[in-house]
Structure 1
Amino acid sequence: MIKFLYPIISLLALTLTSCGKSYNVIGTSNVSNLDGRMLYLKVLKNNEFKTIDSCDVVHGQFHFEGTFDSVRMANIFMDDESVLPLVIENGDINIKIDNTQQTVSGTPLNDKLFKFFNKYNQMKNLENELVHKHDQAIMNGRNMNVVNANLNKEAARLSQQEDNLITSFVTENFDNILGPGVFFMVTINYQYPELTPWIEDIMSKATDNFKSDKYVKDYYKKALENQQIMNGMRGAPANAQPAQAPAAPNAAPTPNEMARPSQPPMTR
């Protein structure tokens, strides 16, 4: 009887294991310099990117698959260069990479994240169009005082819309991985953690779930320490530098643009 039960128990255990959460990333690319290259799927762990999977790009196709314990943000890297972010979640995740854009779709959080990226990119395109209008006005001999006044007004309007977009997205996603994930993208290229008005606004609204995210918690703690040092409320060791944020990856264009602290959305 024992000999009979053993294979049944083993089969049951295998079945239960196979029913766990799994991801399946199916990618296509028409970017020539990706073909034949190794791609790495990495997640942020202890403020460092750790590889969880890798694959070759063969004839414009690549594929990652595996299991996971919890939904989390990840990045696809080529060598040390980040190609694009995505969410590791249950289901088939479809990636398309070409010379003009990168998209991830097929699962709820990835669809939501890249819908946000598309809106953000539309705003950046409108901002770039202002530069074209400025150059065109010079060539047409327009009154540049009037032109610049109008362009500055439009730039301020777009900056406010961009600010509202990022803030609303983070606050609407406090309790899933997207809120902390976009917060990470915005702040990762800061020279050191700082309490900008945008950060203070976000943290004043934040839920306990958002505040307990490891990166958010660590960033905010260091930003408070740096603020106290700059305000003379806390002593700093001789020759000490402000507490540093984790090293930033060479991120994909959209997250990298978002991460520049000098941009209006970060300095409301």
Structure 2
Amino acid sequence: MKKMLVLATSALMLVACSEKPGYEITGTVNNPALEGKCVYMYPYGDAEAAPIDSAVVTNGSFAFKGTQDSAVLRTLKFSEEVVPRSYGPAGESGIFTATFVLSNAKLQATLDSLSDVTGTPDNDAVAAFRKEIRSMRAEQETLVAALKSEDEAAKREAEQKYDAIDRAVVDKAEAFIGENINNALSGVVFYSFRYELPEDAQNQLVAKAGDVFKSVPGISQIMERLENLKTVAVGKKFTDFPMKDVNGKDRKLSDYVGKGKVVLIDFWASWCPPCRREMPNLVEVYKQYKAKGFEIVGVSLDSKQEAWEKGINDLNITWPQLSDLQGWKNSGAALYYVNSIPHTILVDKDGTIVAKNLHGEDIEAKVAELLK
């Protein structure tokens, strides 16, 4: 009997040892309307990929089980017929969508307007980061009423606080990515903040990143853009281009730049809220320094003449304006690899780029320094 017990125990141990380690994902969906719908698991970054697996939402819950040879990026979401595609703020996925690192571990997923997956150090780190920036953005929401105030002083104060929080969120993202540079999810965060992170910060992060980070979908395109940006980097001479002014007259950027004045090239559009918030600051800097050798050249990414002209009038813009009315296909923006606006380039009296993407008080400080 004792011998049989030993043999039975040995057999159980052999079975246990032969079982492959696997993953278990237990999830909740915080929306009764999604009861009975399928949650799908997709490879991250491939819009054409078929789902790898699916699970039905039952009593607000779902589950996935399987094995994974190595850690990979995956996305949980519903079909677009059930939950239309949406885009969250930088650092977040769309609603009821979560991107995470899948490995052989027990993971917990929450799908909601803001979603997370936890259960491993890499996933937990990103969830903690998102919690921090969500709190910061919640503070921005308290400023919305003041942003619409007819009290100009209160409105301006709210705008400054709002922009300061924006900058703090970007700083937090830069720090997180740098501290988690070997986490594939930090590459996802990097990609989502590609429009907000300063060019020099992006270069520094890429320089210290390894293969895990660089293999994240989308990172290679960012690296290519950063390489291209070296042609219009600080220290390079400005790149000229022809374009019509608001009256339809043919102009060149060189009509204004490299003529002995400090020039701010401002890529903007009348439909761009951050551009409009920044414009009162540019109006004040222009008034203060125009007579001292400062010029601004606006390059509008508008596509309609009427909207462009109305924006100029509404925002009290009095400096030269250029546009080809091609929207995001603006030829000048393409030469300077502009992928978000407002985008500013400060050029010295000789036509050398001395700073990029200055905003707010930083513009006035740099202009004052150059005009000493």
Q: Same fold (TM over 0.5)?
A: yes
Structure 2 contact 182–210 (Cα < 8 Å) conserved: yes
* 1:89 counterpart = 2:103: yes
Once the two structures are TM-superposed, the CA of residue 158 in structure 1 deviates from its matched residue by: 0.8
Matched with 2:27 is 27
Provide the C-alpha distance between the structure 2 equivalents of 1:48 and 1:111, rounded to a whole number of angstroms. Answer: 28
Structure 1 contact 42–52 (Cα < 8 Å) conserved: yes
Provide the C-alpha distance between the structure 1 equivalents of 2:199 and 2:108, rounded to a whole number of angstroms. Answer: 33
Once the two structures are TM-superposed, the CA of residue 199 in structure 1 deviates from its matched residue by: 4.2
Paired positions, count: 217
Segments ≥4 residues shifted beyond 3 Å:
14-17, 45-50, 224-232, 260-264
| Bigger mean CA offset, 212-221 vs 150-159 | 212-221
Provide the C-alpha distance between the structure 1 equivalents of 2:111 and 2:219, rounded to a whole number of angstroms. Answer: 33
Q: Provide Cα deviations, 1:136-194, integer angstroms capped at 9, x if missing partner.
A: x54xxxxx22212311221232122111111111111111212212123334xx7xxxx
* 1:131 counterpart = 2:132: no
Instruction: For CA contacts below 8 A with separation 6 or more, give which structure has more relative contact order.
Output: 1
Structure 2 contact 174–197 (Cα < 8 Å) conserved: no
Provide the C-alpha distance between the structure 2 equivalents of 1:49 and 1:198, rounded to a whole number of angstroms. Answer: 32
Structure 1 contact 130–155 (Cα < 8 Å) conserved: yes
Query: How is 1:1-268 mapped onto 2 (pairs within 5 angstroms)?
Result: 18-20=19-21, 22-44=22-44, 49-80=49-80, 81=85, 83-98=97-112, 101-135=114-148, 137-138=149-150, 144-187=151-194, 198-206=198-206, 207-209=208-210, 212-215=214-217, 217-224=219-226, 227=229, 261=340
| Bigger mean CA offset, 77-86 vs 118-127 | 77-86
Structure 1 contact 73–181 (Cα < 8 Å) conserved: no
In structure 2, relative to structure 1, the CA distance for the partners of 1:37 and 1:262 (3 Å cut) is farther
Structure 2 counterpart of 1:215, one-letter code: P
In structure 2, relative to structure 1, the CA distance for the partners of 1:173 and 1:50 (3 Å cut) is farther
Provide the C-alpha distance between the structure 1 equivalents of 2:75 and 2:220, rounded to a whole number of angstroms. Answer: 20
Once the two structures are TM-superposed, the CA of residue 225 in structure 1 deviates from its matched residue by: 6.7
SS in 1 for 2:183: coil
In structure 2, relative to structure 1, the CA distance for the partners of 1:197 and 1:157 (3 Å cut) is closer
5+ residue gaps, structure 1, are 1-7, 139-143, 191-195, 233-240, 243-259
Q: Which has the higher helix share?
A: 1
Matched with 1:141 is none
Provide the C-alpha distance between the structure 2 equivalents of 1:218 and 1:91, rounded to a whole number of angstroms. Answer: 29
Provide the C-alpha distance between the structure 2 equivalents of 1:79 and 1:62, rounded to a whole number of angstroms. Answer: 15
Structure 2 contact 45–217 (Cα < 8 Å) conserved: no
SS in 1 for 2:110: strand
Between the aligned residues of both structures, percent identity stands at 20
5+ residue gaps, structure 2, are 1-9, 86-93, 233-237, 240-328, 331-338, 344-356, 359-372
SS in 1 for 2:69: coil
Structure 1 contact 44–50 (Cα < 8 Å) conserved: no
Once the two structures are TM-superposed, the CA of residue 118 in structure 1 deviates from its matched residue by: 1.1
In structure 2, relative to structure 1, the CA distance for the partners of 1:58 and 1:52 (3 Å cut) is same
- Structure 1 or 2, whichever has the larger Rg, is 2
Once the two structures are TM-superposed, the CA of residue 115 in structure 1 deviates from its matched residue by: 1.0
Provide the C-alpha distance between the structure 2 equivalents of 1:97 and 1:224, rounded to a whole number of angstroms. Answer: 34
Structure 1 counterpart of 2:193, one-letter code: V
Once the two structures are TM-superposed, the CA of residue 133 in structure 1 deviates from its matched residue by: 3.0
SS in 2 for 1:70: coil
In structure 2, relative to structure 1, the CA distance for the partners of 1:16 and 1:208 (3 Å cut) is farther
Provide the C-alpha distance between the structure 1 equivalents of 2:217 and 2:104, rounded to a whole number of angstroms. Answer: 23
Structure 1 contact 171–202 (Cα < 8 Å) conserved: no
